[in-house]
Structure 1
């Protein structure tokens, strides 16, 4: 719009401000969930967490419209975040400069976990139908990195992390082939649900074979420890800690975290201080007995843990002690640190994408 005296008078002062702001910013503004500072949804469970809460930072809702948001990965070169919308069989892209939210890839072979490798390429776990781990090259072509182990198809690659030596580590539970909502129901060919390491020479090794449906995974800042979520097999969801040897050998299995509050540990990331920022929500466990409701006197089996009190991000210190909680209106499945200074926490949560600036940075 050409700003003449006539157009200025016609749109008025408020209209001019809006027009100029729209042209200058060129982006959609996020939705602020809480107007007060400090944001009451950022809860301090231990005084040690206080330094990570920025007093004047709020949880922001950036985008919505997904069916099950997962696998966020940040790409600093383009200042964008990629994340999976599994049931819709697509990968979405959030541009943090323009604020736009668009489809990056569709179909996406029911992609789940994503990661950026050391050369800035996209590593993706396609957890159904193709059941493989791929790399998107700079020219847009796709390279298959792993789709079988010992001559049999992988189960459903779930989450992935790239170590500084270039090795790629990923979990392989059954979720993607358990039904038809997030892919295609199929019979597993592997006898166990493993954690794999893909060497830079292309050799695939099963480094952990005794976890039932391993899920999220991450390394400590010095990469001497590997943390893995076990979805099932213990009374509650757990995070196990392993020592990593000089040649990538895994040893000394120790339970670091036990979600005894019926929380659903899922994807997580580690900050530079070694704290674990974990996607959280109800694990879906039901009470043993039915309770009466106010609707027509029906009896229902309710959750053991309240979704309203569990949905969000739980932060644990390196010893496994809960120190903070970010309360969200939706269950958080996975998260990633992003932004130019790696201090913006992106949270992929059910239908939506949320963000919060924090007083730390992602490790790595």
Structure 2
């Protein structure tokens, strides 16, 4: 028999099997791995954060959650979340039991509905801000968009200033850095509400806090490139309507992990070579042969 995932032989073991760990979400997003082996992820319409643990199984970590979406960790292990309900980026210093807002406004106006977040090595918090929590009644409280656009921001960890770093995308969604932090990848999912909208991934050169002119890195179909992550060698792993699509650093599509539902987000475990996937209704696990980049 051939490899179960053609084109991905160096990245996934030949005996790897996609495992469904839990289901029952209305729309799952934002998985993040904890030091005890648990995975947290969001059920946005359910207004809750779920927790799966290898020994303890499935449970509810937070409800109501103010419509958490994306999650991440920083180098110190602190948790971050994007809240549609609070229109804010949140941080937890106690493993997800308590949360406080660290970014709520830009230029004196409320953010739209922060969607996904990553933390760079220097502590800068980068996040996307499309309008989904404003325009979808099941994913937020609604409200008026106060920002002039939907941008990618950086929160300075020392001053607390929120600066718009990418302004040339319609609805930025998922984001991730290359392993060396010289490239920022951002997905645009504006096609969700506009047939003429985008479903691609853009790449931006980064030098310090300066972001250069972007380019289209890859177009993802079917579906959208919602969440993305990179492995230690710079391969980009993207969600899509048919599974997880994997791209080489030069943008070539290498192959796909088929999944029987729309994949929304994904994350590499920092404890073992494992990839966790959130689908529209389920949480999956897949053994891999690579480690994830930290972002």
TM-score category (smaller protein): over 0.9
The residue aligned with 2:201 is: 239
Please give the alpha-carbon distance, in whole angstroms, between the structure 1 residues aligned to 2:72 and 2:271: 17
**Structure 1, residues 224-262: CA drift from partner, whole Å, max 9, x if none?**
11000112287641111111112x100031111123x44
Corresponding residue for 1:217? 175
> Per the alignment, in what secondary structure is the counterpart of residue 177 of structure 1?
helix
Give secondary structure in 2 for the equivalent of 1:323. strand
1:64-113 Cα distance to aligned partner (Å, 9 max, x none): 011101001112x22111100000001111113x0511101111100000
Q: Give the aligned partner of residue 56 of structure 1.
A: 15
Q: Find 1:318's aligned residue among 203, 228, 249.
A: 249
Runs (5+) with no aligned partner, structure 1: 1-36, 282-310
Distance 1:181 1:38, change over 3 A: farther
1:37-64 CA distance string (max 9 Å, x none)? 7774xx32x3xx2111211120000000
2:280 is matched with which residue? 350
Q: Which residue of 2 aligns with 1:252?
A: 213
Residues 1:337 and 2:268 are matched in the alignment: yes
- TM-score after normalising by structure 2: 0.93
Check 1:39–1:89 CA distance in 2 against 1; reply closer, same or farther (3 A cut): farther
Q: Secondary structure at the match of 2:233?
A: coil
| 3-state DSSP of counterpart to 1:181 | helix
Aligned-partner Cα distance in 2 for 1:274–1:194? 24
Instruction: Return 5+ residue gaps in structure 2 as ranges.
Output: none
Select which of 228, 232, 254 maps to 1:272.
232
Task: Measure, in 2, the Cα distance between the counterparts of 1:179 and 1:231.
Answer: 15
CA distance in 2, matches of 1:164, 1:99: 32
Aligned equivalents of 2:98, 2:47: Cα separation in 1: 19
- TM-score, scaled to structure 1: 0.76
Alpha-carbon distance in structure 2 between the residues aligned to 1:174 and 1:39: 41
Distance 1:38 1:132, change over 3 A: farther
**1:236–1:146 CA distance, 2 compared to 1 (3 A):** closer
- How much has 1:339 moved relative to structure 2? 5.6
1-structure distance, mates of 2:154, 2:181 = 14
Q: Which residue is equivalent to 1:32?
A: none
Question: Equivalent residue of 1:216, what SS?
Answer: strand
Which structure is higher in helix share? 1
Question: 1:184, CA displacement in angstroms?
Answer: 2.1
**Alignment check: 8 A CA contact 1:38 1:58 kept:** no
**How many Å separate the matches in 2 of 1:263 and 1:331?**
8
Aligned residues: 288
Q: Which has the larger radius of gyration?
A: 1
Moved over 3 A (4+): 37-40, 233-236
